[in-house]
Structure 1
Amino acid sequence: MSVLSVLTAAIAPGVALLAYFYLKDRYDTEPIHHVIKMFLFGVLLVFPVMVLQRALVHGLGDDPFVFSFIISAGLEEFLKWFLVYTIIYQHATFDEPYDGIVYAVAVSLGFATLENVFYAFLNSSSISSLLYRALLPVSGHAMFGVIMGYHLGRAKFTPERTKRHLLYSLAFPIFWHGLFDYILLTTKSYWVWFMIPLMVFLWMRSLWKVNRANSTSPLRVIHKEDQVKI
């Protein structure tokens, strides 16, 4: 495979998934430059994560549970959450619940895309191995982003439950990401029997969250009024 072919195959899944969730916004699509900015922040996040994870492995060891839930999922999801919360959560463009999903997915897929590029070149990957990564790690990061963004949206637009959903927006992605990694680390020969049901569940749950976030948008009333006027 040529360098360009490998690079394209490594980048394409993340970009395609981001486009899919971006276009799922029914009422007011986000400014594309903000989405690209968050995607690029996710790309840059890979470098400090690599350094911190190496240090944590030296300090905490490589026990599968500790690695999965703390060193991998805990660190990665916390830093993604921190980026979305500090940069975009209070921004004026975050004006409906679904926006949380768009921005959290953008950060998550930026992170997953550079990871995928590194994997492709460092492991001399074939198309089949990149397809496997598109269906599992890249897709998984997108699902964790949907979960995070859904609860950030709920936190912002249901003030009486803000603290609860802020906690959920961090805790749930860490749990599902940790479980994802733990299965891959501990079930070497029969992981597919656990991973396929997990991914089906995460996709179904994520699509429900997408529809739920859109259905609670305060902009849907304005959209309906505009349709009636037309």
Structure 2
Amino acid sequence: MSVLPVLMAAVAPGVALLSYFYLKDRYDPEPISLVIKMFLFGLLLVFPVMVLQRALGHGLGDSPFVFTFLISSGVEEFFKWFLIYFLIFKHTSFDEPYDGIVYSVAAALGFATLENVFYAFLNGPTFYELVMRALLPVSAHAMFGVMMGYHLGRAKFSQGKVHKHLALSLLLPIFWHGVFDYTLLITKAYWIWFMVPLMTFLWLRSLWKVQLANARSPLRMARREERVKI
């Protein structure tokens, strides 16, 4: 495969998933420029994450549990959470609960897309392998982004329980990312029997959270009141 088709195949899943979740915003779509900016910031996170993961890998050994839950998921999700919390959480464009999902998914898919590009050029995968990466790691990063963004939205717009939702916005992605990585690591020959139900659960859970976040939008309430007045 030549360079351009490989690059397009590696980038397409992230762009398609980001478009899907962006279009799920029913009431007040976010500025596309800001969403793209978060995607690019997520892409840039790959470099410091790689450096830190390599250092931790040398220092903490090769335990599968430590690697998957701390070195892999812990570091990656913390950096994404840090990015969203300090750049977006108090931004004026973050004006309804679903916005947290849009920005978190954008950062997560930026990260996953560059990882996918590196994998494609360093490993020379077949078309089947690229499809499987689109269905598994790239999609999984989007699901972790939904978890993070949903609870950031709850933290910003719910009355009370702010610290609880902030904690969940970080801990839930770390946990499920760790479960995902650990499952792939220890079930090498029969991984599909575990990954299909896991990914089905993550997708169904994410779509449910998307509905809940949209349902909690103050803009939805405002439109309902306008209809009543009319």
TM-score by length of 1: 0.98
Indicate whether 1:47 and 2:47 are aligned: yes
- Aligned AA for 1:125? P
Q: Distance in 2 between matches of 1:217 and 1:33?
A: 22
Match of 1:58 in 2: 58
Q: Distance in 2 between matches of 1:158 and 1:198?
A: 29
CA deviation after TM superposition for structure 1 residue 227, in Å: 5.4
Q: Is the 8 A contact 1:46 1:111 kept in 2?
A: yes
Q: Distance in 2 between matches of 1:16 and 1:223?
A: 29
Cα displacement string for residues 141-174 of structure 1 (whole angstroms, at most 9, x for unaligned residues): 0000000000000000113010000000000000
Match of 2:145 in 1: 145
CA deviation after TM superposition for structure 1 residue 9, in Å: 0.2
Cα displacement string for residues 24-54 of structure 1 (whole angstroms, at most 9, x for unaligned residues): 0000000001100000000000000110000
CA deviation after TM superposition for structure 1 residue 229, in Å: 7.5
SS of equivalent residue, structure 2 residue 70: helix
Match of 2:163 in 1: 163
CA deviation after TM superposition for structure 1 residue 20, in Å: 0.1
Q: Distance in 1 between matches of 2:223 and 2:205?
A: 26
Q: Distance in 2 between matches of 1:215 and 1:161?
A: 19
Cα displacement string for residues 150-199 of structure 1 (whole angstroms, at most 9, x for unaligned residues): 00000001130100000000000000000000001111111111111000
Match of 2:193 in 1: 193
Q: Is the 8 A contact 1:27 1:223 kept in 2?
A: no
Q: Distance in 1 between matches of 2:17 and 2:42?
A: 14
Q: Distance in 1 between matches of 2:207 and 2:78?
A: 23
- Aligned AA for 1:195? M
Match of 1:128 in 2: 128
Q: Distance in 1 between matches of 2:108 and 2:229?
A: 39
Q: Distance in 1 between matches of 2:85 and 2:2?
A: 39
Match of 1:216 in 2: 216
Gaps of 5+ in 2: none
SS of equivalent residue, structure 2 residue 160: helix
Q: Distance in 2 between matches of 1:227 and 1:138?
A: 40
SS of equivalent residue, structure 1 residue 212: helix
- Aligned AA for 1:175? F
CA deviation after TM superposition for structure 1 residue 226, in Å: 5.1
- Aligned AA for 1:10? A
Match of 2:89 in 1: 89
Gaps of 5+ in 1: none
CA deviation after TM superposition for structure 1 residue 127, in Å: 1.2
Cα displacement string for residues 103-126 of structure 1 (whole angstroms, at most 9, x for unaligned residues): 000000000000000000000112
- Identity rate of aligned residues, in percent? 72
SS of equivalent residue, structure 1 residue 28: coil
Indicate whether 1:204 and 2:204 are aligned: yes
Q: Distance in 2 between matches of 1:159 and 1:46?
A: 35
- Aligned AA for 2:183? I
**Equivalenced residues, count:** 230
Indicate whether 1:76 and 2:71 are aligned: no
Cα displacement string for residues 72-121 of structure 1 (whole angstroms, at most 9, x for unaligned residues): 00000000000000000000000000000000000000000000000000
Match of 1:119 in 2: 119
